[in-house]
Structure 1
Amino acid sequence: MTTWRATAAMTRATALGALGVAAAVLFGAPVVVVLTAPLLLLAAMGLLHRPNTSPVVETEVDHVVLHEGQGTRVRLVVDDLSDVEHVTRLSSPVRHVALHPAAGRMGCLLEPDGEPPVVEASPRRWGRRLLGEENVALTGRWAGYRWGPVSMVGSQLQVLPVRAPFDSRAEAPQPLGVVGAHRSRRPGDGTEFASIRPFHPGDRLRRIHWRVSLRTDALHVVSTRGEEDTAVLVVVDALADHGRSGGVDGASSSLDVAVRAAAAIAEHHVRRGDRVSLRVVGTGGETVRYGTGARHLRLIQARLATMQVGTPRDLRGDQVQLGVTAGTVVIVLSPMLSDVVGTMTASLVKRGLPVLVVDTLPTDVVPAVVEGTDPRIADLAWRMRRIERREALARLATIGCPVVAWRGPGTLDEVLHRLARWAQLPQVRAR
C-alpha cells in the first residue's frame, strides 16, 4: 500500500468512542462518556495530524564492494519525514549474509531531525550477494495512520576474497623480466654477489675490491647478479566445488580454499613488482592478462568473486590454451579430481615450465549424496575417486611437478626453492 490508511488502533478508538457516546445518550449514563473520553481524544489527535504527504522510500548501501567478513550499512532514505513518527523495517535473511539485528526486524521512534533505523549487513563468503527483500512501513503521529508495508528489492554486493595471510621469501625459478626483486642468473647491477673478476674498461670504480687488487697487484672488481621481475600465472580450477562452505568463519570448500589462496598469491607477487595473470578453468573461463599495480590486483579479485562454477561441454585438457611463455611460473590451484586439469598440468611440465600444484581439497570433505542413492554405493564411489586422485598426483610427481597442500604463509617457499635450484642445472633436451 502506497497511501496512508487508518491503523487498527485508530479504527478501534473511533468505534469504541462513538459507541460510548451513543450508549451514554441512550441510557443516560454520563460515566460512560468519562470512560471513553481517552479513546475519543486519541482518535481526535490522530485525525488532526492526518498525513498529507506521499513518501518516496529507497534503500541505500554505504559500500557495494566489500571483502569477506567486512560490514556495511543499509540505510533507508525517505524524502519527507515530517508526518512520520515510527519506522518499521523487516529484512529477509540471505545465506552467507549476517544481519544486525540478527532477525532483520527493527523499528524505532524518530527523533526530531533524526534518521530512520539502519540495518547492518556483513557478507561471509566471496561472490555476488543479493541482500534479501525488505518490507518497510511508516506510522504517522499518534499512531493514527500507516503507510505501507511496501516490498523493496535488496541491493547487490560484490564480495571479494578475504586477504589471507601469505608471505614467501622464495625467489622465482626463471626470472626473465626487466626490474624486480628476484635474483637473476645473468650478471647485472644488483646487490647479490656473483664473483670477483679482473677489471675491464667501463667498470665502476666503486666496484673495485681493494684487498684482492693489492694482493694480486692488478685491479679486480666485484660482479653482481641482476634483479629482475617474473611472470606468474595463477590457474584456478572452477569445474566443481567440493565440500560445504561455512563462510569466512566456518568450514571451507575446495573452491573457497582456491579462491582465497589465489587472491593471497596474487597480492604477494603484485606487491613484489611481478607481472601476474589469472586463468579460471570453468564455465565462464575468466581471464586477466599480465599486469602489475593495485588496480590490476583489484581486477583479479573482482574476477575471482564473479567467476562461474561448472564444467563446459566437450572440454578436454589438450584444448585448454593458457598462452604461457618461457620463464613464467605457473601455480595451479585445484583439488585434482578432474582429468582435464591433470592433463593440462602435465603438458605444461613437459614443456619445461616451472609448474607447481596447490592441493585445495579439504581433508574432511564428504561427497554430496543425491536423494535415493544408496550411501554405501556413494561411499565406495568416493573412495575409488580418491584412489584415482592419488595416482594422478603420483604421476605428476614422477614427471617433476611438486604438489603441496595450502596452509597459508610459507606454503610455496620450499617448492619454489627446489624449482629455482632445478632451473640452474643444465637441461638436456631431445631434438
Structure 2
Amino acid sequence: MTVWTPTPALSRATVAAAAGLVGAALTGSPALAILAAPFVLPVVLGLLGRPSSTPRVTALLGATRLPEGQGTTSTLQVEDGEEAEQVTRVVARAPYVVARPASGALSVLTGDAADSVVEIGARRWGRPQVGDEQVALTSAWCGYRWGPERLGAQQLTVWPLAAAYDSTAEAPQPDGLVGAHRSRRVGSGTEFAGIRPFAPGDRLRRISWPVSLRTRELQVVTTRAEQDASVLVVVDSLRDIGVSGGVDGRASSLDLTVRAASALADHHVRRGDRVGMRVVGPGDARVPFGSGPRHLHRITGTLTRVVPDTATVPDETLELGVTGGCVVYVLSTMLHAPVVNATALLSARGVAVVVIDTLVARDLDELGGPTSAAGLAWRMRMLERDLMLERLASLGCPIVPWRGPGTVDVVLRQQARRGQVPRVRAR
C-alpha cells in the first residue's frame, strides 16, 4: 500500500536547519542561525502540512476505439487528494502511439485539473497498450510525496483507415437472391434481356404493346435478375515486408494489405453483398459470410488483431474452402508457395479469383546495396516470385497491384464476359 513519505527535499532542509541551529548553539555564532533560518520555515510548514488521507488515482481514456490517425485523451482522476498540491504523471511510450506532451511527463497543480490531461494519438492500426504510467502526488511545500503509483496499461483498439476505393464493376457470377449485380439468368430485374411471346404466368405489365401490335401476338419484355454476390477477402499476414511509417508515413506490405481489405469489405457491404474474410497467419481468423453494418464492424475488428507471423513456417497445404459463385480477393505479397498454390487451385476450379499484389517496392540501398548479401538474397527471391506469378497468370488468374479506386474493375469485367462464353463439356 502506498503511503505518504517525506521527500528528499524535506530531509535535506531538515538536516541543514538542524545543523545550523545546533552549530549556532554550540559556537554561539548568530551567523549560523541566520543561515539556517531559510531552511527552518519550509521544514516547519512542510511538517505541519503532513497529509493523513489515502488518495486513489485512476486514468480514464476518452475513447477505447478509434480510427487510425485519430486521437483520444487520458484523464487522471484523483480521489481523496485534497491535501495534495501537485500531481506528476510519467506515461510510457508505445509503438506507433504519440502523446502530448511528447516526453510523456506532466506535472501540474491539483487545482488545474484540466491541465493534467495527456493527449494520445494512434498512428497505426492494431491494438496497442497505452496508459502504462506512474503517478505521484506531492503535498504543500514539497514536504511529503505519495507514490509513485503505477497504473496498468489499457488496450486501445485502432481501426485501419480504409484506403480510398470505389468500383463500378459487377460480380462475374452473383449467386444471391436480391442485390445490385446483373445475373445471367432471366428474372424480375431492370436490365433488358429480350422480347419473347407471352406465356401463362407472365405479368401483364411486362407486355410490350408496340411489338404486340406489330406482330399481332402478345409479346413480353424479359429482364435479367439482380442478385447479390458472395465476396471472400483473403488476407495474407505470414510476413510483413518493409517498415511501417504510420498512417502518414511509408506503408509496409501488411499496412497496404489491411487497409485494402478494409476498403474492399466496406465497398461490398455498402452494395449489399455478403462478405467473408480469411486471415492466413497467426490464429487463422475466419469471418463467415454476412452483410450489414454490424458485420462490417466485425470484419474491421478482426483486421485490428492481424499480426505478422515471424516465428513459424507456413504449412505447405492451404485450403480456402470456396465454391463457385464467389468472388475471392487474395491480398498477398505472393512470397509463399502455400498461398500461391491455394490461389491456383481455386482458379483451376473456375472460381473468380483476383490476386491483389501488396508487395511494396524496396530500396536495395536499405539492404546494403545490390551486391550485398541481403541485396542478393532479395533479388533472388524476387526472381522466384516472378516465376510463380507467371505460372499463376498462365492459369487465367489475374494479378493486379493495389492502386485504389478501380483496381479490379477491368479484371472483373473480363471474367464476367468470360463466364458468358458457351463451354463445351465432354460427356
On whether the aligned pair clears a TM of 0.5, the verdict is: yes
Coordinate RMSD, CA, aligned? 2.6
Give the match for residue 411 of structure 1. Answer: 407
C-alpha separation in 2, matches of 1:51 and 1:84: 8
Aligned: 1:78 with 2:78: yes
C-alpha separation in 2, matches of 1:137 and 1:74: 16
Are 1:110 and 1:116, in contact at CA under 8 Å, matched by a contact in 2? no
Aligned: 1:269 with 2:268: yes
Q: Following TM superposition, by how much is the alpha carbon of 1:103 offset from its aligned partner in structure 2, in angstroms?
A: 1.1
User: How is 1:38-117 mapped onto 2 (pairs within 5 angstroms)?
Assistant: 38-111=38-111, 114=113, 117=116
Aligned partner (choices 394, 400, 405) of residue 398 of structure 1:
394
Q: Following TM superposition, by how much is the alpha carbon of 1:15 offset from its aligned partner in structure 2, in angstroms?
A: 3.6
Q: Following TM superposition, by how much is the alpha carbon of 1:117 offset from its aligned partner in structure 2, in angstroms?
A: 1.0
* Alignment CA distance shift 1:392-1:324 (3 Å): same
C-alpha separation in 1, matches of 2:363 and 2:287: 30
Give the match for residue 158 of structure 1. Answer: 157
Give the match for residue 206 of structure 2. Answer: 207
Which letter maps to 1:140?
Answer: S
Stretch moving more, 326-335 or 377-386: 377-386
Between the two proteins, what is the percent identity of the paired residues?
52
C-alpha separation in 1, matches of 2:367 and 2:53: 56
Stretch moving more, 162-171 or 66-75: 66-75
Q: Following TM superposition, by how much is the alpha carbon of 1:138 offset from its aligned partner in structure 2, in angstroms?
A: 0.7
Stretch moving more, 350-359 or 202-211: 202-211
C-alpha separation in 1, matches of 2:115 and 2:270: 42
1:32-86 alpha-carbon deviations (Å, 9 max, x no partner): 6566545433322222221101222232223222322121222223222211111
* Alignment CA distance shift 1:210-1:309 (3 Å): same
C-alpha separation in 1, matches of 2:126 and 2:203: 54
Are 1:243 and 1:367, in contact at CA under 8 Å, matched by a contact in 2? no
Are 2:244 and 2:255, in contact at CA under 8 Å, matched by a contact in 1? yes
Aligned: 1:379 with 2:375: yes
Give the match for residue 287 of structure 1. Answer: 286
Stretch moving more, 333-342 or 24-33: 24-33
Which letter maps to 2:382?
Answer: R
C-alpha separation in 1, matches of 2:72 and 2:361: 34
C-alpha separation in 2, matches of 1:28 and 1:217: 136
Q: Following TM superposition, by how much is the alpha carbon of 1:407 offset from its aligned partner in structure 2, in angstroms?
A: 1.0
C-alpha separation in 2, matches of 1:28 and 1:309: 76
Give the match for residue 251 of structure 2. Answer: 252
Q: Following TM superposition, by how much is the alpha carbon of 1:384 offset from its aligned partner in structure 2, in angstroms?
A: 1.7
Instruction: State the TM-score, normalizing by the size of structure 2.
Output: 0.91
Are 1:94 and 1:132, in contact at CA under 8 Å, matched by a contact in 2? no
Stretch moving more, 236-245 or 212-221: 212-221
Give the match for residue 143 of structure 1. Answer: 142
The number of residue pairs the alignment matches comes to 426
Are 2:54 and 2:81, in contact at CA under 8 Å, matched by a contact in 1? no
Q: Which secondary structure state, in structure 1, belongs to the residue aligned with residue 268 of structure 2?
A: helix
Aligned partner (choices 399, 411, 419) of residue 423 of structure 1:
419
Q: Following TM superposition, by how much is the alpha carbon of 1:105 offset from its aligned partner in structure 2, in angstroms?
A: 1.0
Q: Which secondary structure state, in structure 1, belongs to the residue aligned with residue 127 of structure 2?
A: strand
Q: Which secondary structure state, in structure 2, belongs to the residue aligned with residue 128 of structure 1?
A: coil
Q: Which secondary structure state, in structure 2, belongs to the residue aligned with residue 386 of structure 1?
A: helix
Aligned: 1:339 with 2:337: yes
Are 1:107 and 1:117, in contact at CA under 8 Å, matched by a contact in 2? yes
Give the match for residue 243 of structure 1. Answer: 242
Which letter maps to 1:387?
Answer: L
Q: Following TM superposition, by how much is the alpha carbon of 1:29 offset from its aligned partner in structure 2, in angstroms?
A: 6.2
Q: Which secondary structure state, in structure 2, belongs to the residue aligned with residue 202 of structure 1?
A: coil
Aligned partner (choices 326, 329, 342) of residue 328 of structure 1:
326
* Alignment CA distance shift 1:379-1:428 (3 Å): farther
* Alignment CA distance shift 1:402-1:158 (3 Å): same
Which letter maps to 2:65?
Answer: V
Q: Following TM superposition, by how much is the alpha carbon of 1:201 offset from its aligned partner in structure 2, in angstroms?
A: 3.6
Are 1:367 and 1:382, in contact at CA under 8 Å, matched by a contact in 2? no
Q: Following TM superposition, by how much is the alpha carbon of 1:255 offset from its aligned partner in structure 2, in angstroms?
A: 1.3
C-alpha separation in 1, matches of 2:419 and 2:119: 52
Give the match for residue 225 of structure 2. Answer: 226
C-alpha separation in 2, matches of 1:381 and 1:28: 84
For structure 1, the 5+ residue unaligned runs are: none
Q: Which secondary structure state, in structure 1, belongs to the residue aligned with residue 156 of structure 2?
A: strand
For structure 2, the 5+ residue unaligned runs are: none
Are 2:89 and 2:136, in contact at CA under 8 Å, matched by a contact in 1? yes
C-alpha separation in 2, matches of 1:425 and 1:66: 47
Give the match for residue 359 of structure 2. Answer: 361
Stretch moving more, 262-271 or 380-389: 380-389
1:300-345 alpha-carbon deviations (Å, 9 max, x no partner): 12222213432755712xx322221220111111111111111111
Which letter maps to 1:380?
Answer: L
Which letter maps to 1:175?
Answer: P
1:102-133 alpha-carbon deviations (Å, 9 max, x no partner): 11111111217x36712122222222212263
Are 1:194 and 1:225, in contact at CA under 8 Å, matched by a contact in 2? yes
C-alpha separation in 1, matches of 2:176 and 2:74: 46
Are 2:86 and 2:138, in contact at CA under 8 Å, matched by a contact in 1? yes
Are 1:245 and 1:256, in contact at CA under 8 Å, matched by a contact in 2? yes
Give the match for residue 189 of structure 1. Answer: 188
C-alpha separation in 1, matches of 2:348 and 2:339: 14
Q: Following TM superposition, by how much is the alpha carbon of 1:19 offset from its aligned partner in structure 2, in angstroms?
A: 4.3
Q: Which secondary structure state, in structure 1, belongs to the residue aligned with residue 324 of structure 2?
A: coil
C-alpha separation in 2, matches of 1:284 and 1:367: 35
Q: Following TM superposition, by how much is the alpha carbon of 1:261 offset from its aligned partner in structure 2, in angstroms?
A: 0.8
